[in-house]
Structure 1
Amino acid sequence: MATPQRAKRARSNTIGDVHINETAAPPEEISRRIKHLDPDTVDNILTQAAQIHPDVMSMVDDAIRVIREKEQNRVLSFDHYSSSVWKSINVTYRSMRGGAQYDVSFEVAQEVVGTIKSITEQCGPLTNPRTRFNGLSVLRKIGKTIALSSNDTVGHEVQKRFQWDACLVTGMLEILDSMTADEVRAIREDESRPEALWPKLQELEELSHDYCIHPGLVDVLNRVESDGYEDEEGDEEGYEEEYEEGDEEGYEEEYEEGDEEGYENEVEENDLGEAQP
């Protein structure tokens, strides 16, 4: 009588038909070992593995596709960042004496820099186009807050930081680099609506010149002007249908009417203590 063969235990496979080495250590043990490695080492090992094994390269591509689909379906709003920066500069430390304000101003300035970098990191090429537009718009608001918030020690010292620190300009340029030519063109060609971003970028550049802050901001305007007119005869009609007709009213309400008019009017008042983005 033939001895029946023992059936092999089925393994879960989340990566399709990729071959699994049954002599390898359990996944938990592999994960534990990987945690001992620094990110650069993990990157080097994964790069080499992808070069040697096509299955690994396929897994990398699949992971990128999943991330891209997730990010493109999610729209981020950054208005809370703008409000937080305005409050930190103009309200939170207003009751302090000048010396105490001076001491805390360096921390506030660093928080603003961190906020700018955080927004920029969330507006990469894999994100939703509206997320990128919203990120650029909020960086513009933060730039204007810095320009008009020098009535006390905190605001003055933060403004001095941005006389040499170009992180706002760097962030804007990175977001523009992540945009398609059609996205940039839409910014450049929209000049008539009150919510249009292009005139506000021009206004910020003038303020940066008046207050000697945000060095290199003119490069942002040049980037919008130059990239905005490339491939004008491309798929412009399809783009207009997608971004102008596709729920345009909802888009304007969500991203442009967020108390934008109030921000523009209030932040320019003499009493910044009452102004909010």
Structure 2
Amino acid sequence: MSTRPAKRARADTDSDAVDPSKLEELVDSIDSRTVANLLVAAGKAHPYIASSIQQEVDRIAAAERAKVLDFDYLSKSAWKTLNVTYNRLKDSHAYEMTGEAARSIDECFESIRARCPKNASFKTKESALETLRKIGKSICLSNGVVGHEIRIYYQDGGKLVPVMLDIAESLTDEELETLRPWCDDKLVELQGMAEGYCIFEDLGQVIDVWDGDGEGEDESEDSIDGNEEDGGESGDEEEFEEESFVAGMWAQKHRRIL
């Protein structure tokens, strides 16, 4: 009577046998850098994976181009921080709150940086640049202890110019031409104000982005400059800033006389 050979035991450590239901758990247990490296390797080995990666990148880019974000609320937030939040405090207490005020304004810059990537829509970048300009102007025109100390804080640089420069450098030639009147008027105005306080010293680098892109005499009127003619809170805000600036300069001159 012949005997059948015993079956070979199944290896429990077969690396090729992966339960598909556990893939998500396995991936979650790996750090993001390793996951990225594995995805790149898979894309190189399998063209259909590479194609899927490209399709996802294109989808994200298209979604960003279609999205329009308005950052004007951040300029209002920064203006309130500079002119309202601490204006009832005694000078000594207001001085102590300068660090908190500076962090609040820096958060506005970081929010714009995070939400305005290079592939953002033109209107989103336009709003970002104008909001940054308004915040810069508010810093120049703000009165009181907090305003004075914030200007000293930005004499060391700050985040406004780097964020503005990144956005300006991501604009196409056509977009730069559309915004040339804004640069020649509003941005140059900010540079003049900032020079009086020795702040935003690298703002010229942003203005230089527009150099050599045409004369800008017959540009489209569909630019940021038109937005400020709409009135509303933004117009009132800048009108108040101008009045505050005049009052502040008078006060400084009066103190010098005394």
Higher helix share: 2
Q: How does 1:135-154 map to 2 (within 5 A)?
A: 135-149=128-142, 151-154=143-146
Partner amino acid, structure 1, of 2:230: E
SS of equivalent to 1:213: coil
Change over 3 Å in CA distance of 1:261–1:225 after alignment to 2: farther
How far 1:127 sits from its partner (Å)? 1.4
Q: Which runs of 5+ in 1 are unaligned?
A: 1-21, 191-195, 233-239
Change over 3 Å in CA distance of 1:217–1:82 after alignment to 2: same
Is the CA contact 1:75–1:130 (under 8 Å) kept in the aligned structure 2? yes
Q: 1:158 maps to which residue?
A: 150
How far 1:24 sits from its partner (Å)? 4.1
Is the CA contact 1:166–1:216 (under 8 Å) kept in the aligned structure 2? no
Query: Which of 208, 215, 222 is the matching residue for 2:194?
Result: 208
2:163 paired with 1:176: no
How far 1:255 sits from its partner (Å)? 7.5
How far 1:84 sits from its partner (Å)? 0.5
TM-score (ref. length: structure 1):
0.73
CA distance, structure 1, for counterparts of residue 200 and residue 137 of structure 2 = 10
Q: 2:241 maps to which residue?
A: 267
Partner amino acid, structure 1, of 2:122: P
CA distance, structure 2, for counterparts of residue 99 and residue 33 of structure 1 = 56
Deviation per CA, 1:19-68: give whole Å up to 9, x if none: xxx954335x3233333333333333322322222222112111111112
Change over 3 Å in CA distance of 1:37–1:113 after alignment to 2: farther
More displaced, 91-100 or 254-263? Answer: 254-263
How far 1:203 sits from its partner (Å)? 0.5
CA distance, structure 2, for counterparts of residue 74 and residue 112 of structure 1 = 25
Change over 3 Å in CA distance of 1:98–1:174 after alignment to 2: same
Percent of aligned positions with the same letter in both sequences? 32
For the pair shown, the structure with the greater C-alpha radius of gyration is 2
How far 1:211 sits from its partner (Å)? 0.6
2:65 paired with 1:72: yes
2:25 paired with 1:25: no
Partner amino acid, structure 2, of 1:270: S
Q: 1:257 maps to which residue?
A: 230
Q: 2:91 maps to which residue?
A: 98
CA distance, structure 2, for counterparts of residue 136 and residue 143 of structure 1 = 11
Change over 3 Å in CA distance of 1:42–1:184 after alignment to 2: same
CA distance, structure 1, for counterparts of residue 59 and residue 246 of structure 2 = 45
Is the CA contact 2:109–2:163 (under 8 Å) kept in the aligned structure 1? yes
Deviation per CA, 1:186-244: give whole Å up to 9, x if none: 211x3xxxxx4530100111111101111211111111223x339x9xxxxxxx8xx76
Is the CA contact 1:166–1:215 (under 8 Å) kept in the aligned structure 2? no
Change over 3 Å in CA distance of 1:44–1:257 after alignment to 2: farther
CA distance, structure 2, for counterparts of residue 272 and residue 50 of structure 1 = 62
Q: 2:256 maps to which residue?
A: none
SS of equivalent to 2:211: helix
Q: What is the RMSD computed on CA atoms of the aligned residues?
A: 2.9
CA distance, structure 1, for counterparts of residue 245 and residue 228 of structure 2 = 26
Q: 1:8 maps to which residue?
A: none
Is the CA contact 1:143–1:168 (under 8 Å) kept in the aligned structure 2? yes
